Structure 1
Amino acid sequence: MSDDTAASASDPVAASHRDSVETRYGAPTIVSLSDVHGYLDRARSALLTLSDHDEFDPIVEERDDGLLHWAGNDYVFVFNGDAVDRGPDSAGCLDLVARLRDEAPDGHVRQHLGNHEWFCLLPNDPGDGSWYCDAVPDERRRAMYDAIVDGDVAVAYEGYNYTYSHAGQPDGVDPAAVNDEAAAAAADLRTVVGTPEDDLRAVVDRFGEYPVFDAGIHILDGGDGHVKGPGAGPLWLGFDHLPAAAPPQIVGHTRHEEPTRTGNVVCGDVVLNNRETPGGEAVLVETPDSLCALVRQADGGVELREV
């Protein structure tokens, strides 16, 4: 059984731990990473930036099996969506997040749905067959639905001063509300996996009953500007449609060369725009008093930047 399949068998995460860091004793530092899109080497490099900088304890450690494991320090890790597609090892990226979730204390690894994880929930993807999400086995789809119901996978998380979701919203995101809605949708849709009702159009229409997933419907209609434009939900909205005066949020979803701030909103989607050259991958690090980025340099070093 793969790591991400096994994760569905764990005890459900308490809603308080699912939704907010405020339930954590001792004010753990939050580390976030998003949009690794199947580039496992870049995901590993980003997580190891903490190990490679003198001011931080490691969040992960490489062991004799060659894999990264939870290092045992007091962090909350938010993977902010889009682990899969485009790169060569989507399954490896999913397994990495699931392994860390299994090894960390309960609720200390928060995995968020991105639009590409949503594709993985569908019977088949509306793409051309070249992406991981185009052929996700029913067993893994069920495990993903179960993980959403159990709270292991969610949509949003309340940090100290920022709310985390894959794409954000102009008026902000209420983690408890959207996570409850995603869990309700998953409980509904998992019942049809592998049945005659498991038809792409029918499943997408049922997702459309839940506003957090609504924009995805337009993918099947050829796209009409709504998918990432005004009115899109927290898995889909383009960064350009988040006003500077929006509530403080940390998002991914829209490619940048480096962690980028517009007013109160910070985007950490940097892997794809740097994948052809050494360095550029980064994590965002939030404490009760600060937000910074650790950015891998071309020479392998790590630069600490204010964001």
Structure 2
Amino acid sequence: MLPRLPDSDLDDSLRDGVDGLVAAADGDAEPPTIVSISDIHGYLDDARSALLTLADHPDYPPVVVEDDDGRLHWADENYVLVFNGDLVDRGPANEGVLELVARLTAEAPPGRVRVTLGNHEALVLSPDQFGFDEWFSGQVDDAARRRLCEAIIDGHIVAAYTGHRVTYAHAGADEPYDVTAATESLVAAAETLQEAIGTDEDRAMQERLITEFPAVLGIGRNHLKGPEAGLVWLHFDHLSADAPPQVVGHTRHDTPTTKGRVHCQNVLRNNLDSPSTGSRGDPDETTATGGGEAVFVETPETLSALIRQPDGSVERRPSPFK
């Protein structure tokens, strides 16, 4: 599922939230700024455009920089970069997106690149339960499924991540929950499945994951994304205005959207076909995106969206997004 991530386990103090980085830093160090992007779905060019919004805005140092071949690398600035689920499926460059995430994870200091599990990554854990054989996630082999389990066990992929003022999870939850407990539940699921992959117990174990770890991997009774669903499946419509402060993806919107204290950043796919000269305003670019792709930027004081405009410029919108 993922190219090989660092072999060593991530220290538990850095796994679940930004407080671990703050505690490990010098007392005079500035808390890191958190940048998040969700639902890339294999659209590498559009993800690159979104991640480069910081470089193209005068108020921010870059979170990534381009080399001569156009590949993105960690910029060695004071950031945490959260990939908030659904890296794959639908788009043309699934492997390229996974390679990007693995490269940035390897280049950044420990705990600086975080990946939350999305429902399309969860499909890899239980492919026989969902039947999406036409998608990338439904075609991965057993070795790739084991690598995904290893990445979860080693702390490189989590159920959720605690920021300064919000929690990052792919779909989120309508009630408060403990982030560390949620990820420990996901680790237990991965450990259980890892031993069964490729054996006669595999199919049965895939089904058990959904029922035994419902807070993270559970699905709705009448619809996969129904109100009973867990952190990777719940639809935005089932999050109330009173839900805990969260940044989620999962449910598509045209523009960053706020409901109460929940902020949805899944905008990339709804903006794929917008007319434009190019993702950064360059008429020689071949990418068809027309702006609208975005990242969220969280400091201890603020949450903002940086949104690519059709002319290639970048607009900053503070929360709540209008």
TM-score (norm 2): 0.88
Task: Give the aligned residue type for 1:268.
Answer: Q
Aligned residue number for residue 228 of structure 1: 225
Aligned residues of 1:75 and 1:108 also touching (Cα < 8 A)? yes
Computed over aligned residues only, the root mean square deviation of the Cα atoms, in angstroms, reads 1.6
Distance in 2 between residues matched to 1:306 and 1:213, nearest whole Å? 30
Encode CA deviations 1:21-57: one digit per residue, 9 max, x unaligned. Answer: 0122331000000001111111111000000001000
TM-score (norm 1): 0.92
Distance 1:169 1:285, change over 3 A: same
Distance in 1 between residues matched to 2:314 and 2:119, nearest whole Å? 30
Distance in 2 between residues matched to 1:275 and 1:34, nearest whole Å? 14
Aligned residues of 1:78 and 1:110 also touching (Cα < 8 A)? yes
Q: Does 1:210 align with 2:224?
A: no
Encode CA deviations 1:141-160: one digit per residue, 9 max, x unaligned. Answer: 11110000010000101111
CA positional deviation for 1:214: 4.3
Task: Give the aligned residue type for 2:302.
Answer: S
Distance in 2 between residues matched to 1:128 and 1:255, nearest whole Å? 19
Encode CA deviations 1:114-163: one digit per residue, 9 max, x unaligned. Answer: 00000122355734532101111211111110000010000101111101
Distance in 1 between residues matched to 2:63 and 2:183, nearest whole Å? 25
Unaligned runs of 5+ in 1: none
Aligned residue number for residue 304 of structure 1: 316
CA positional deviation for 1:213: 4.1
Aligned residues of 1:156 and 1:174 also touching (Cα < 8 A)? no
Aligned residues of 2:268 and 2:292 also touching (Cα < 8 A)? yes
The one of 9, 18, 28 equivalent to 1:21 is 18
Aligned residue pairs, count:
297
Distance in 1 between residues matched to 2:216 and 2:168, nearest whole Å? 17
Aligned residue number for residue 275 of structure 1: 272
Aligned residue number for residue 195 of structure 1: 199
Encode CA deviations 1:178-219: one digit per residue, 9 max, x unaligned. Answer: 0111011101101111222222x5422244211234434x6x
Task: Give the aligned residue type for 1:63.
Answer: D
Distance 1:206 1:120, change over 3 A: closer
CA positional deviation for 1:95: 1.4
Aligned residues of 1:182 and 1:212 also touching (Cα < 8 A)? no
Matched position secondary structure for 2:85:
coil
Q: Does 1:121 align with 2:125?
A: yes
Distance 1:96 1:265, change over 3 A: same
Aligned residue number for residue 249 of structure 1: 246
Distance in 2 between residues matched to 1:193 and 1:150, nearest whole Å? 18
